[in-house]
Structures are given as C-alpha cells and as structure tokens.
Structure 1
Amino acid sequence: MDIGVLLPTGTAQWDKGDDPRELVAFGRDAERAGFSSLFVNDSLITPRVEALTMLAALAPATETATLGTAALLPFLRRPVQAAQSLASVDLLSGGRLTVAVGAGFPGRFGRPLYTLSELPWERRFTRLDETVALWRAVWAGADAFRGDILRFTGIPPGTRPFRSGGPPVWLGGATPAALHRTGRLYDGWLPYPPDPADYATGLHGVHRAAAEAGRAAGDITPALFVSVRVDEDTETGRRALDRYAHATYGMPLTDLERIQAVVAGSPEQVVRGLRSYVAAGARHIVVRLGAVGLRAQRDQLERLAALLPAVCDGRQPSAITTAEAIPAS
C-alpha cells in the first residue's frame, strides 16, 4: 500500500509571501513523514512551477519516494524532447519516476491548451497513446517510429532511463475507452471517481481489458487521486475544502465532489473514507491536501501523516501521534 502527496506547485495553493523554493523542503519532509510518493500537476492555464522542472529539483533532494506526475499533459511538449526530459528525471532520481498522463478535458483545461500547443483537439487520445509508444521506443534506442499521427526517422541516440524500458506510465480517466486503453497499453490507472463503488467497477474493466490483451492484472498499478482535508469534524473540513475548490477551480465543493473523489472530516472519518477506496482495490493513493498556503498545507501534511498507519494497516487513528509521523529535521 502506497500513499503519496501532490505538492502544491500552483500559485492558487499559495498565500501571499509564500516562497516556492520551500517546495523542495516540503517534499523532503513528506518523504520523512512516511509518504511513499511525491506527485506534481501539469497545466498552462493555471500558473505553477513546471512539472518536470519540479521533479528534477526533487530528484537529488529525496532518496526513496516515487516522483510522479498527476497528470502530465504530453501534448504540451515536443514528443521526442519529452522522452529525453523524462529519461533524465528517471536517471537523476535513480529510477524513481512514474509518469501518469492525460489528454486534457473539454472546457478551459482542454481545447485552449491544444490551441496554444498548435495541435488539433481531434484524435487526441490516439495522439496520447502514440506519444507514449514513441517514448518507449526512444527509451529502447529506436531510431525511427511510425504511427498513424506521429512519424519520425533518424532519431538520434538519447539519454537512456535508469530502468530498462523506462519509467512506468499510468493513464488517468475512467471512461469505458480509458479503461480499455489502460488494460491494453498502460502500467497503471489513476482515476478520481467520487464513489468507491465506481472505482471497483472501473478496476474490473481495466483487468478485463488486460486479460483480453494477454496481460496479468498485477502488471497494472491501481492508483487513486483524491482531495483530502483532516479537521475537527465534517462541517469544518468541508468549509475549508470549499475555499480550496473556489481558489483552485473557481467552483464550489458541491460541484467538485460530483466529478472528483473528496474525503473530509475528522481523522476517523478520513481514515474510513480512504479505506473505502482501499477496499475497492486502490493500492497507490495520491492525496491532494485541501488547504491554501504553504503553512496550511504543512499542517494538513502533518495531520494526514499521523493517519498513514491507520489507512495502511488498520491501526486506530487515536493510537498514532503527530510526533511519530514527522520526525524532527
């Protein structure tokens, strides 16, 4: 069971006066607190520290945590250059990179980004799958690639990743087509369904597609992306998450939780909520901390770190202290 944290790399998660250089120390502290992975988001719409730049900074500053994207938007980058950048981060981190990818969404997080990238919105899923296939070919040393959309010859030798075959690549999304593509082509699945029952159903679909492609269910990491707020009670937690939803997405919590997994409340309620996804099959949970400002993010990191054993091995939340969770620097 792995539990990771999404670093607050976007300016929407910062207070006035926050120093983004503190994000490296934030990642180190999260690793020491017991979080097994550090993830970053990717966008051109919301100002943020660029995803691969952030992971490159974390690579020498951390030792054991998986470094991941949740999710990288490959269409924002030239595909061969992206293969080189990803291989470099994997190399610098000693093989700790995991790349979750997506094709973007309709609305402000989709078409405008494709326009800025000078790419067509149409056939975006084919382009995504071919980009990942191209990366894997480049990482293996291929000098040419021929797909329906992407075609390259004379590819020069590039940086080889730390691991043979390159870092694992996960897919976000829970549509029937995404489940099928995950089972056939990807190394992991990173959705955010609001209902654990939908997670279980989706994971079954991934496994069915994998079996049809001759793959084992164990070849695919079942992950989950979820927003979490640990507070005194549900009402207090939901109020704080509502502020976060407005700051990050410009929408109320009631709208956000209809499309994304959200867990908020007392320590016991948060543990119960996360365990419901574990029971549904999730084995790598990526948590977005529902707080604005690096100080508030650190407070939530501390509170959630105290709950990690309860989520992972069933210990009661009251038996875990904050002092256990975050050792002194």
Structure 2
Amino acid sequence: MDIGVLLPTGTAQWGAGDDPRDLVAFGRHAERAGFASLFVNDSLISPRIEALTMLAALAPVTETATLGTAALLPFLRRPVQAAQSLASIDLLSGGRVTVAVGAGFPGRFGRPLYALSELPWQRRFARLDETVALWRALWEGADAFHGEILRFDGIPPMTRPARPAGPPVWLGGASPAALARTGRMYDGWLPYPPAAAEYASGLREVRRAATEAGRAAEDVTPALFVSVRIEDDVETGRTALDAYARATYGMPLSELEQIQAVVTGTADQVLERLGRYVAAGARHLVVRLGALGLRSQRDQLERVADLIPALRPARAVPQPGKAP
C-alpha cells in the first residue's frame, strides 16, 4: 500500500508571496513525512510548473519516493523527445519514475489543447496508445517504429532509462474502452471515481481485460487519484474545497464531486472514506490536497501524513521458528 501526494504546481494553488522554488522543499518534506510518491499534473489550461521540469528538479534531491505524473498529456510533446526526457529523469532519479498518461477531455480541457499542439482530436486514444508503445520500444533500444499513426525509421541511439523496460506507464480514465485498454497494455490504473463502488467495478473490468490478454491481474497497479481536506467538521472542509474547486476548475464543489473522488471531514471521517477505496482494491493513493496557498498545503500535508500508518495494512508478525 503506497500513499502519495500531488504537488501544488499550478499557480491557482499558490498564495500571495508564495515562492514556486519552495515546491522542491515541499517534495523533500513530503518524502520525509512518509509519502511514498510525489506526483505532478500536466496542462496548458492554467499556468503551472511544467510537469517534467518539476520531476527533473525533484530527482536529485529526493531518495526513495516515486516521481510520477497524474496525468501526463503526451500529445503536448513530440513523442520521441518525450521518451528521451522521461528516460533522462528515470536515470537521474535512479529508476523512480512512474508515468500516468491521459488523452485529454472534451471541452476546454482537451480539444483546444490539440489545436495548440497541431494534432487532430480524432483518434486521440489510438495516438496515445501508439505513443506509449513507441516510448517502450525506444527505451529498449529500437531504431525504428511502425504504427498506424506514428512511423519512424533510422532513430539514432537514445538515452536508456535506469530500468531495462523503462518506467511503468499507467492510464487515467474509467470509460469502458479505457478499462479494456488498461488491462491489455498498461502497467497501472489511475482513475478518480466519486464512489468506491465504481472503483471496485472498474477494477474488475481492468483485471478481466488483463486476463483475456494473457496477463496476470497483479501486472496492473490499482491506484486512485483523490482530493482530500481534513478539518474539524465536514462543512468547514466542504467550504475550503469549494474555494479550491472554483480556483482550480472554475466550478463549485457540488459539480466537481460528481465527476471526481473528493473526501473531507475529520481525520477519522477521511480515513473511513479512503478506507472504502482501499477495500475496493486501491493500492496506491495519490492524494491531492484541497488547499490554497503553500502554507495551507503544508498544513494539510501534515494532517494526511498522520493517516498513513492507519491506511497501510499491518504487517504480519513472524512466529517463532518460522521465516518472516
């Protein structure tokens, strides 16, 4: 069971006088506080520190935490260049990178970005899958790639990642097609369903698709992206999360919680709600702290860190005369 945190790399999450250079110290502190992973998100919708730049800054100053994207939008980058960047960060971190990817969403969160990237909106999922297949081929030393959309010949030797097969690649999304694609070809699943029951049913479909593709169910890491705010009571938490949702998405909490996992309340209430997702099968929680300003983010980080021991299942105690 791993508990990670999403770093507040977007300017919408900063307060007056916040220094973005403090994000590096924030990541180092999160690692020392017990978080197993540090994730960053990726978009052109609002100003933010570019995702791979942030991971590169964290790589040499952290030691054990997984460095991840939640989620990287590959269509914003040249695919060969992205493979090189990810391999480089994996090397600099000693093999600690995990890449969750997505194809973008309709409306202002997707189609305009494809136009800026000079790519067609049509067949975006096929393009995403081919991009990941290209990355994996390049990481293993291929000098050519022939897909339906992406075709390259004469690729020069590229930087090889720390791990022979390269970083694990997860898929974000919970549509029936995304569940099937996750099971067939991805190393992990990072959705954000509003209800634990939705998570459980989605995970069953992912595992079914993995089995049908000749893979083992455990080949796919079941992760969860969830927004969290710990307060003295639910209403205070909801008020803070509403401000966060409006600043980040331009929508009230009542709309955001219809499409994303959002948990608030006292520490015990948050622990109980997160426990439902753990019971549904989640094994890597990526927690987004619902706070505005780095000081408030740091406060929430400490509160969530206090829950980490309770979220991790207790290890079995070895019996005398038996191997642990």
What's the TM-score once normalised by structure 1's chain length? 0.95
Q: Does 2:216 correspond to 1:216?
A: yes
Deviation sequence 1:259-278 (CA, Å, 0-9, x none): 00000000000000110000
Instruction: Report matched runs for 1:1-329 at 5 Å.
Output: 1-313=1-313
Question: What is the rounded CA distance, in whole Å, between the counterparts of 1:312 and 1:197 in structure 2?
Answer: 20
Alignment match, 1:320: none
Shift of 1:140: 0.7
Deviation sequence 1:291-329 (CA, Å, 0-9, x none): 000000000001111111122237xxxxxxxxxxxxxxx
Shift of 1:127: 0.1
SS in 2 for 1:108: helix
Question: What is the rounded CA distance, in whole Å, between the counterparts of 2:233 and 2:260 in structure 1?
Answer: 21
Runs of 4+ in 1 over 2 A off after TM superposition: none
Give 2:273's aligned amino acid. Answer: G
SS in 1 for 2:181: helix
Shift of 1:16: 1.4
Alignment match, 1:326: none
Question: What is the rounded CA distance, in whole Å, between the counterparts of 2:95 and 2:210 in structure 1?
Answer: 25
Deviation sequence 1:203-245 (CA, Å, 0-9, x none): 0000000000000001000000000000001111111000000
Give 2:77's aligned amino acid. Answer: R
Question: What is the rounded CA distance, in whole Å, between the counterparts of 2:147 and 2:26 in structure 1?
Answer: 41
Question: What is the rounded CA distance, in whole Å, between the counterparts of 2:6 and 2:269 in structure 1?
Answer: 21
Question: What is the rounded CA distance, in whole Å, between the counterparts of 1:189 and 1:313 in structure 2?
Answer: 21
Shift of 1:130: 0.1
Question: What is the rounded CA distance, in whole Å, between the counterparts of 2:272 and 2:160 in structure 1?
Answer: 42
Shift of 1:59: 0.3
SS in 1 for 2:8: coil
What's the TM-score once normalised by structure 2's chain length? 0.96
- Quick check: 300-309 or 123-132, which moved more? 300-309
SS in 1 for 2:142: coil
SS in 2 for 1:177: helix
Question: What is the rounded CA distance, in whole Å, between the counterparts of 2:313 and 2:91 in structure 1?
Answer: 32
Give 2:119's aligned amino acid. Answer: L
Shift of 1:45: 1.3
Gaps of at least 5 residues in structure 1 are 315-329
Gaps of at least 5 residues in structure 2 are 315-324
Give % identity: 80
Give 1:227's aligned amino acid. Answer: S
Question: What is the rounded CA distance, in whole Å, between the counterparts of 1:153 and 1:25 in structure 2?
Answer: 42
Deviation sequence 1:178-227 (CA, Å, 0-9, x none): 00000001000000000100000000000000000000001000000000
Give 1:262's aligned amino acid. Answer: V
Give 2:113's aligned amino acid. Answer: L
SS in 1 for 2:255: helix
SS in 2 for 1:156: coil
SS in 2 for 1:159: coil
Give 1:165's aligned amino acid. Answer: A
User: How many aligned residue pairs are there?
Assistant: 315
Give 2:300's aligned amino acid. Answer: Q
Shift of 1:177: 0.2
Deviation sequence 1:23-57 (CA, Å, 0-9, x none): 00000000000000000000111100000000000
Give 1:162's aligned amino acid. Answer: A
Give 1:80's aligned amino acid. Answer: V
Deviation sequence 1:35-84 (CA, Å, 0-9, x none): 00000000111100000000000000100000000000000000000000
Question: What is the rounded CA distance, in whole Å, between the counterparts of 1:266 and 1:201 in structure 2?
Answer: 28
Shift of 1:142: 0.5
SS in 1 for 2:192: coil
Alignment match, 2:320: none
SS in 2 for 1:58: helix
Deviation sequence 1:238-262 (CA, Å, 0-9, x none): 1100000000000000000000000
